[in-house]
Amino acid sequence: MNEPILEVSDLKVSFRTYAGEVQAVRGVSFQLNKGEVLAIVGESGCGKSVTAQTIMRLIPTPPSVIKGGSIRFNNKEITRLTDKEMEKVRGSEMGMIFQDPMTSLNPTMSVGRQITEGLIKHQGMGRRAASSRAVEMLKLVGISNPEGRMNQYPHELSGGMRQRAMIAIALACNPKLLIADEPTTALDVTIQAQIIELMKKLSEQMDSSIIIITHDLGVVADMAQRVIVMYAGKVVEQGTVDELYYDPRHPYTWGLLRSVPRLDSSREEELVPIPGTPPDLFAPPAGCAFADRCAYAMEACFAADPEPTRLTRTHSAACWLLHPDAPKVERPVLTGGAAR
């Protein structure tokens, strides 16, 4: 079961802009196993979407440049594929769900055609087989009257329906990897819960691996097995959901957990936002990028960036506090976090 479908190693991605080079992803490494659901969390601008879109090679180059590292997906080195080869991989082995379905659905094409097109082009299906598969997919994602919906255009659907249609398109080719980038933030809470439940069910049925990108740690607890915490273009902590909630080690993770409400809490709790803002990625600091916002920062933190310390087989964190010579600090009471 621990067979990797995706291995990202020391991935570095920059944007060349008129003002200089933005180092959006600065050496990210992680692994995704077959059938696993992995969450990537972190504040806005920390490189979650750039990481995901680089895996799918959806960011145009230029402006983006893969500066280094590797992305191994299903025995292929993604960074070295031609655009044409990559198009085939995207059409047959990967699926992506975006926050705003309107940006990924084609407004000029009926929902049915958007599903059948990929099946015909990449899976070599005939028109009729593709059509019945599309109806089946629409039914599977809970769209009523799927035959009728086939001929409708995205603007004729409600927000929740569009999200479902997008999931149908992403899953129609039975992808080995599904990346969902903030898939539910634009939806109301009940529909969010339904969509998450649906993705979870479908991925189990189809044995797809999922990367879910979110600010919402509640979503993570509900759906993922493992979590990656990103900050300023790096992975600062990763572990199983339980390790991250019950034994977080990085002060940034503590900050994230204290800044979100608990889903299971009936009482009012004090939410503590993380003070300050993330660093400028045009000129990232030499030391730990979180140091100037960290209540526990020591001299070493400003001088050099810590390497990840391995805590268990699944849990690691990159913080000087984990150095054997570092002073022992009390972790703050973590009122935040999600319902478990």
Ligand X SMILES: Nc1ncnc2c1ncn2[C@@H]1O[C@H](COP(=O)(O)OP(=O)(O)OP(=O)(O)O)[C@@H](O)[C@H]1O
* Binding interface with ligand X (CB under 6 A): 15, 17, 22, 24, 42, 44-50, 63, 281
CA–CA dist 264, 36 (Å, integer): 25
Query: 41 or 140, CB closer to ligand X?
Result: 41
Query: 49 or 208, CB closer to Mg ion?
Result: 49
Report which residue's Cβ sits closest to Mg ion. Answer: 49
Q: Which does 86 bind (CB under 5 to 8 A by kind): ligand X, Mg ion, none?
A: none
Q: Identify whether the C-beta of residue 68 lies closer than 8 Å to the C-beta of residue 10.
A: yes
Q: Which does 291 bind (CB under 5 to 8 A by kind): Mg ion, ligand X, none?
A: none
Cis peptide leading into residue 62 (ω within 30°): yes
Q: Taking the alpha carbons of 184, 315, 272, 274 in that order, is the dihedral positive or negative?
A: negative
CB of 106 to ligand X, least distance (A): 22
CB of 204 to Mg ion, least distance (A): 26
CA–CA dist 248, 188 (Å, integer): 30
Query: 49 or 131, CB closer to Mg ion?
Result: 49
Per DSSP, the residues of 31-85 read EEETT-EEEEE-STTSSHHHHHHHHTT-S-TTTEEEEEEEEEETTEEGGG--HHH
CB of 43 to ligand X, least distance (A): 7
Angle between helices 111-123 and 83-92 (to 10 degrees): 120
Q: Which does 279 bind (CB under 5 to 8 A by kind): ligand X, Mg ion, none?
A: none
Query: 99 or 116, CB closer to Mg ion?
Result: 99
CA angle, 259 as apex, 253 and 260 as ends, to 5°?
100
Q: Is 277 exposed, middle or buried (0-12, 13-18, 19+ CB in 10 A)?
A: exposed
Q: In the range 205-244, which residues lie near Mg ion by CB under 5 A?
A: none
Q: In the range 16-55, which residues lie near Mg ion by CB under 5 A?
A: 49
Q: Identify whether the C-beta of residue 86 lies closer than 8 Å to the C-beta of residue 57.
A: yes
CB of 47 to ligand X, least distance (A): 4
CA–CA dist 96, 26 (Å, integer): 23
Q: Which does 281 bind (CB under 5 to 8 A by kind): Mg ion, ligand X, none?
A: ligand X
CA 322 to chain centre: 27
Query: 2 or 44, CB closer to ligand X?
Result: 44
Query: 151 or 185, CB closer to ligand X?
Result: 185
CB of 325 to ligand X, least distance (A): 33
CB of 235 to ligand X, least distance (A): 12
CB of 100 to Mg ion, least distance (A): 11
Q: Which does 27 bind (CB under 5 to 8 A by kind): ligand X, Mg ion, none?
A: none
Q: Which does 24 bind (CB under 5 to 8 A by kind): ligand X, Mg ion, none?
A: ligand X
Six token digits for residue 81: 């594929």
Q: Does 309 bind Mg ion (CB under 5 A)?
A: no
Query: 157 or 199, CB closer to Mg ion?
Result: 199
Query: 63 or 148, CB closer to ligand X?
Result: 63
Q: Identify whether the C-beta of residue 227 lies closer than 8 Å to the C-beta of residue 250.
A: no
Instruction: Determine the straight-line distance between the first and last CA of the chain, rounded to whole angstroms.
Output: 24
Q: In the range 271-300, which residues lie near Mg ion by CB under 5 A?
A: none
CB of 47 to Mg ion, least distance (A): 9
HSE, CB side, 13 Å, CA atoms: give it for residue 122: 24
List residues binding Mg ion (CB under 5 A).
49
